[in-house]
Structure 1
């Protein structure tokens, strides 16, 4: 069997997840043939990683304005898109037009106009787009889908879903490019796409109507005085004020972050270590969303990005009972590694409450790897030999669109104070 050829555009923090898998665990089925990015220093670092850590010869590198040349010269089967969210559509569409299939990091894109352009390109070219929702593959999330599929609590009528980002992980979105909603769509798109996709996946349902409220209530210059911040700085590197700031990210103290960002600044001027209480933050850190689905189920969802622990709580109410789920997750800084939560690391529990019967705990078979053990399974599904999956975890462009449309509708609701119909944004 011939190997599938892959090129990757965007070699920032999330990119390593993909290119390391291609050159190591899946080298028998897959071949990395090129990198593409706006920053040569970062591409050189990626080549250094695959050479020094995996013994793979460096691959050709191309600047983003030479994307077409890369496709013509390297003839890839797949383009892996891991650029800044607002540019996903550009490279997805062009890759399709040049005869490639696409694997894209979530979110697929950041607004309904770009989503429509992607869907049009897929229909026009007949090519495929795969969105990498690794949370679907986490054993505890798959188990929830299994319980609901098996009619454990009957028809699901309502879901309450609370996601907590702690002050290490949550703060990180306010230090980097995500802090500008034009880049990321805000957390309702960039982060919540995971969560809204899970609800779609768990329920086998499509969102119809969305209403949201929220704001920037903890981070940002406007909240600095309330948090006791009086010594301001733009970015942490070289700042005296940052030395005593528990929210500061010190790039020079982490070899990976230094190589990927601090050493690369000279090319693109991107500061990875901006102050979470600085100017220019226009995304929300506190959000509440109400969603109704085509099954008539109702979701109440909240996301807070400054909590003392990381994880989620979700409850499903059905016509035959209730499921309660509690998950405490490992916290991390993107590209900077994970840290351990003291006392409550990676706790998971699923409890079923039958309508007429005793509650019981559901066994969860622990998985190894990131995203609750979902990452290795997802990677195998993408780069290895796909297996029959009764849960249909592989996410298509339609799944990618449905998840972001909930967040996009939430953003429009925040701006207008009105409930938003998904079909008014894009018909799927």
Structure 2
């Protein structure tokens, strides 16, 4: 079997999930041949991890200005994109133009204009863009799709979906580059793309109209001042005020974060440990969204990023009954620890309540690994030998677009106070 050759753009926190899997588990089918980043220090650290942690030879590195040169030299089949969200479209588009396929971290991009550019270049080149929606592959989420697909509760008319981020996980989006909506599209795009994709996947439909409300209610300097906070700082490193702040993160105390971010600051100035109660935050932490779907179902969705509990509660109301789901997840910060602990389930339940009949619990195999057991299955699907998947969990650029367009429409609705038609945002 010919090995597929991969290069990776963006060697930050999420990148090791992909390159570590390629060299550790898929050497028979896959070959990693190049790193690309704006930061040479960070690429050097990724190469040291390859050598010391995975016993793999170091590979060639290229600055982002040398992207074309990398593709010409390394001749990859596929480019893996794990850079800052606002740059995803740049590397997706150029990779397709140069004859490569793409695997991209979610979200595919952050606004409608960039989304349209990706759609257009896929149509022009005929190349493939794969979006890595690992939650689709978690056994409990696949089971929900199976129950709905086989008509367990008939036609689904409405969905209530609450996602809770706790003060460890949720706060981290307000320390990092995500805190600027220009970088991430806000949580409605960066984080909720997972959740909106799950609804599309579960119901087998796509969004039609979106209305959103919310704002920055907990994090940010103004909110902290209103609660009487006085010990402000802009970043934790070197600040005495940060030492007693439970929301701070100490880069010096974590060797992984120190090498990946603190020691790389000299090149790009990026500060990984900004205060969640500092200035410069323009994303929301409290969000409510209503979505009408093409199959006439409606969704009531909420996301809060400062809670004492991590996980989600979702209920499906149908013509023959109701499904209730409760999933508690283990919070994490991307800290270089055991990646299998990311999103590990602490509890889960799926309960079916027939309209006329006795309610019952649905047994689901407990998946191992991150995102509720979805990560290993996703990686096998991407890098391993292809197998038939009756649930069609592999997500295309269309799936990627339909998930982010819900969030993009939500952002537009936040700005205007009006509902937004998804079909008005892009043309397929």
For the superposition of Structure 1 and Structure 2, which TM-score range results when normalised by the shorter chain? over 0.9
Which sections of structure 2, spanning at least 5 residues, go unmatched?
Answer: none
CA separation of 1:287/1:264 partners in 2, compared to 1, >3 Å: closer, same or farther? same
Number of residue pairs the alignment of both structures matches: 426
- Equivalent position of 2:325 in the other structure: 325
In 2, are the aligned partners of 1:288 and 1:302 still within 8 Å (CA)? yes
Task: Write the distance in 1 (CA, Å) between the matches of 2:235 and 2:23.
Answer: 35
Is the partner of 2:353 in helix, strand or coil? strand
CA offset at residue 137 of structure 1? Answer: 0.1
1:22 matched residue in structure 2: 22
1:62 aligns with 2:62: yes
1:375-420 superposed Cα distances (whole Å, 9 cap, x missing partner) = 0000000000111001000000000000000000000000000000
> How is 1:298-309 mapped onto 2 (pairs within 5 angstroms)?
298-309=298-309
Cα distance per residue 1:235-289 (max 9 Å; x no partner): 0001000000000010011111111001111111100000000000000000000
Question: In the aligned structure 2, how far is the partner of 1:417 from the partner of 1:251?
Answer: 40
Q: CA deviation at 1:307?
A: 0.4
- Compute the displacement of 1:338 (Å): 6.9
Which residue pairs with 2:7 in the alignment? 7
CA 339–245 in structure 1, closer or farther in 2 if over 3 Å, else same: farther
Rate the CA distance shift 1:58–1:336 in 2: closer, same or farther, 3 A: closer
Contact 2:103 2:132 (8 Å CA) reproduced: yes
Distance 1:345 1:207 in 2: 28
Q: Please, what TM-score do these two structures have when normalized by structure 1? A: 0.98
Separation (CA, whole Å) in 2 of partners of 1:374 and 1:333: 18
Mark the CA change 1:392 to 1:320 in structure 2 (over 3 Å): closer, same or farther.
same
Partner of 2:75: 75
Q: By how many angstroms is 1:339 displaced?
A: 11
- Give, in angstroms, the shift of residue 2 of structure 1: 1.1
CA distance in 2 between partners of 1:338 and 1:210 (Å): 38
Residue 221 of structure 2 corresponds to 221
Question: Alpha carbon RMSD of aligned pairs, Å?
Answer: 1.4
CA gap 1:37/1:167 in 2 versus in 1, 3 angstroms: same
Q: Could you say which residue in structure 2 is the equivalent of 1:92?
A: 92
Residue number in structure 1 paired with 2:349: 349
Which residue of 2 is the match for residue 372 of structure 1? 372
Question: What is the distance in 2 between the residues matched to 1:303 and 1:100?
Answer: 36
**TM-score normalised by L of structure 2:** 0.98
**1:172·1:334 contact (CA, 8 Å) conserved in 2?**
no
Unaligned runs of 5+ in 1: none
Indicate the residue corresponding to 1:117 in structure 2: 117
Distance 2:345 2:56 in 1: 35
Give the aligned partner of residue 407 of structure 2: 407
Contact 1:186 1:283 in 2 (8 A): yes
Kept in 2: contact 1:331–1:338 (CA 8 A):
no
Contact 2:209 2:292 in 1 (8 A): yes
1:40 maps to which residue?
40
Q: Give, in angstroms, the shift of residue 206 of structure 1.
A: 0.6
- 2:116 touches 2:427 (CA, 8 Å); kept in 1? no
